Structure formats: structure tokens, C-alpha cells
Amino acid sequence: MYLSDFDLKQLEARNLAKLPVAEKNRLLGKMLRDLIEARERLAANSSTSSRPPSSDPPWSGPHGDAEAEEATAQAAKAKEDEVSLPETGPSAPPDGRTMTACPDGKPSGTGLKKPGRQPGAPGHSRMLTLPVTGTILHAPTHCAVCDRVLDGDAFKARTGHYVLELVAGDGPGLQGLAVRHDKHLYGESACACGHVTRTEPGRCPDEPMWKVGLSEWGLAGPFLTSFIVCLSLRMRLSRRNIQEFMQDWLGVYLSTSTINRCVHEAGRAVEPLEGQLVGEVRQASLAHADETSWKEWGKLLWLWVVSTATVSLYLIGYRSAELITNALGEDFAGWLMTDGYKVYRQFHKRLRCWAHLLRKAKGLRESLTGEARLFGEHSHALLTELMDAVYQAREGPPTSLAGRYRDRLEEFRLMCGRHRDSRHEKTRALACEFLNDWEAVWIVLAHPYLPLTNNEAERALRHWVILRRITHGTRTEQGSRALALLISVIETCRKRKHLPWPYLAQVIAERRKGNPAPAMLAAA
């Protein structure tokens, strides 16, 4: 850089007018080179510089080159594994079909292969070496026609499947976790009336948008599925790391596709609870709302949160007024604490976050432009003084500060009016922000018990912002929907002082049977 901050602070318009043309041209050349250097730094990313990929913004899109190289390598490997044999000779099929060599050296032709994945093909078979802990019989207890009690000895097993499940010990919390490998058998029993009653694994009917099934016919039990959700969302582990952790510590091997399916299945299981959370949010007397960017496989979306004393509701969608209106309703009667995003202005009882305004005023106070510095210093000093007054008012008897600071606020309104047409962009933006949200900013002076900042919503987003930086978002619409539903349930349970994982396992178990989801637990 040719010009330092100290140099720029001295470049006032009246001083520039006195410079000769030659000196102005030299100064213009320095400023042009500084501008080019700054733009180049701003445009630099991991593909054009030595910066790591983690420094790229989440909306920069997938790394197509790396994916193309990986796909090419997999195709080449698959081609190397396939060895064509001659179509003539004693081993060729009589109809001229091509044959491939299996790893054991025996040829196999089209139509002669065994069902399922062939030996040597890419992918993994089920690698389960745990011994069976026990056999669970799902025998019908009553006749489906006459409701007569059925004899358990008459049960005949017709089908079954294996289930891996975590069980907790008798200690507090989730101490003493152990893995069970149970064999579940389903079948039929004949009644004296002649009717045969049959049992089958539970299944939830198909639902719109969800491509993942929800049934008891699966390898991972409800509590193990809840454990996988914990590792994925709270511990921020990738599917590969979850696979490695479970194999090393639990002796359980699951494919990454099975792990991913468990997360999506859990999201589908808790979907009915969203209606309960939305209803409780709309009845709240105070709510905090905020949003942050979210990437869905190259598509820029937004992660929203509406946080109350007992509910944290997360949504992923576009940054529009429609989404927040659907969450809060058009007749939301409580106080709503937000930032300056204009879609929140439709709510009448709105509060503005002073922390956002203080940061912007501080930025202007450190500006290189004299006009911006003066406005920033005045705004920052006023906000700091009034914030101290609100804190003092909370410690004493209920009182209103609006009358005491009426004249000061009127003077500040006139100052904002003078700067609303400023040529300095950020000065103009802050002045307009104060004027547009005047009532929302200063209403707290009349009600000092109301919050001054939106830290509640920002803290609710912080963990998931870190997850976004690690994972770069989600890949599918179903993945985004599952994540928003699951973190809503997890954070709401935390707010209500309940452990979320046993409750999540209970919801998964009931929904797999086709039953309604158990209601959210009340605050402890």
C-alpha cells in the first residue's frame, strides 16, 4: 500500500483542491494502485492463491475440479477391475454373451450372476461380526378377528431382521453405554376361530418430500440412530469420522450411506413436532430472531432462528418476508428483537439490537472521513450513555427514561436527518437506519426491562455457523430440512433442561411404528 491510514485521514477535499495538477496525477496513480491491490486481495481464494479451502465463503460453490478428478479415478479403478475374456473357446457362453472374471478366477456371464453385489465390486457388504445378544419374538397377542388371547406356543416365525442398539446403564445420564445385537422375528399365530394373525415390522406411510423410509426394518435401532445424530450435529463429525469412531470404540461398522440415512430418518421422525414449536413461538411474549447464510450444494439459502424462553425454532430457506411470517404468523403479539433487516418491520412491537448499532457507530468513529468520524462519535456516545441509564433503571423501581432524554433524542433525530443524504455511504446508511427504526430503537427507554441486544439469537446460531464452516452446508433439500428439524428439537430440549437424546430415540421408535410423535417435554 502506498497510502497509510494516517495519510488518508489528512486527505480532506479542501486540501486536495489546492494541489497542482501534476501532484494530483501522482496522488491519483498511488490511489489507483492501492485500489487494484485491495481488489485483488478481495478476489483471492483457495483456487487463485495459497489460501486454504476453509477460508472460502460457503456460497462459493462446490469444487468441481476435485470432484471430476475423483469421479475419473473411480471410473478408471472400476475399469481396471473388469477383465474381459475371449468369446471363443470352451469357456465362452453358447449365445455369445460377454463374460467377466471374478476375483476367484471363475467366469460369470450375464444372467448367470448371483443376486446382490458381486465380489470385487466397488462398495461394501454388511460387515457385522458381533454375536447375537438375544432373539426377540414379535408374536401377536390377540386375534385380529375375535380378539381372543393367542397362545404363544403356536407362533410361527416367517421373517426377521437384525438390529444394532445402544442401551444405557442404571447410572445418571447416559453412563454405561453398551451395544446389543438382537434378532427380531415376525410371524403368525392361528386362532381357534380359524383366523391367522400376522405381525410385521412397523412402517410409517410415505410422506411428501421425504425420500427416506421410516420403519422398524433397519439395522440401526432408535437409540443408536439418536447417537449418530449427536455425533453428526453436536460433535460436528463427518460421515467418515462417525464410521471410524463407531468402529474403533463400539466395534460397529456402518456404511456412510447408512449413517446418512439415519440422520435423514431422524429428521423425518421429528417433523410433526415443528407444528408444536411454531404454536409455542406464536404465543411467546418475547422472541429473538436472526438469520445467517447457508449453502445447499452451491445454492445460497439462509438459516433462520426464532428463539424464546423455552423454544428454539430453526428454518432453512430463502431470505424473504414470507418465511418469517409463516413462522411467527401475521398477528404475532409479543415483542420481537431483531437486527435492521427490513422484513422485520412488518411487526409492530419490534425491538432493535443496540449491539449492531454500536458496532456500526464504532466503525464510523474510526473512519478516514471527517464527517463520518463526527457522526460516529456522537452516535456511539449517545448509545453508550443511554445503555448505562437503562441498566441503572433496571436496578431501581420501575421507571421510564423516555421523558428524561426526549430533548437529546430530538437533537439526534435532526442530526440523522442532516446525514441521511451524506455522500459517505456508511454514514448515510446508519443515519437512515436510525430514522427508519426510530421507535424500535428507543422503545426500550419506556420499558427498561426489555432486552437491549439480540445476543440470544446470535448465540443460538453460533454452533451451527461453526458447523457450516466445517461442512460447507448441506447437499440436498432433504438434508437441509432434516437439519433444521433436528436442531430445533435438540436446542429446545436443552432450553427446557432435558437431555435430548433419549427423547429423540423415543420419537424415532414411535414414528417407526407408524404412531404419532410424543409431545415435547415441558420445561423442567
CA 231 – CA 382 distance, rounded (Å):
46
pLDDT in tens, 417-466: 999 999 999 999 999 999 999 999 999 999 999 999 999 999 999 999 99
CA 193 – CA 190 distance, rounded (Å):
8
Counting every residue written for the chain, the total comes to: 524
Give the mean pLDDT of the chain: 86
pLDDT in tens, 399-427: 889 999 999 999 999 999 999 999 999 99
DSSP string, 214-239: -BS-SSB-HHHHHHHHIIIIIS---H
HEC readout, 49-90 = CCCCHHHCCHHHCCCHHHHHHHHHHHHHHHHHHCCECCCCCC
Q: Assess contact for 233 and 467: CB atoms under 8 A.
A: yes
CA distances, 303 to each of 110, 191, 489 (Å): 50, 56, 15
CA 225 – CA 508 distance, rounded (Å):
8
Supply the pLDDT for residue 78: 45
End-to-end CA distance of the chain: 58
User: In the structure, what pLDDT confidence band is assigned to residue 170 with cuts at 50, 70 and 90?
Assistant: confident
Q: Assess contact for 295 and 473: CB atoms under 8 A.
A: yes
pLDDT in tens, 216-229: 999 999 999 999 99
**DSSP secondary structure letter of residue 142:** B
Supply the pLDDT for residue 68: 46
HEC readout, 146-211 = CCCECCHHHCEEEEEEEEEEEECCCCCCCCCCEEEEEEEEEEEEECCCCCEEECCCCECCCCCCCC
pLDDT in tens, 4-19: 887 777 777 777 887 8
Q: Among 295, 343, 340, 291, which Cα is nearest to 320's?
A: 343
pLDDT in tens, 115-141: 666 777 776 666 667 889 999 999 999
Domain boundaries, the chain: 128-200, 280-459
Whether the model clears a pTM of 0.85, i.e. scores above it, the answer is no
CA 20 – CA 1 distance, rounded (Å):
23
Supply the pLDDT for residue 50: 58
pLDDT in tens, 226-261: 999 999 999 999 999 999 999 999 999 999 999 999
User: In the structure, what pLDDT confidence band is assigned to residue 518 with cuts at 50, 70 and 90?
Assistant: very high
Amino acid making up residue 257: S
Number of H helices, E strands in the chain: 17, 11
Q: Assess contact for 511 and 522: CB atoms under 8 A.
A: no
Checking if the pLDDT of 53 tops 50, the result is yes
Q: Among 430, 465, 293, 292, which Cα is nearest to 359's?
A: 430
Q: What backbone torsions phi and psi does residue 312 show, to the nearest 5 degrees?
A: -125, 110
Supply the pLDDT for residue 3: 79
Burial class (CB in 10 A: 0-12, 13-18, 19+), 160: middle
Amino acid making up residue 453: T
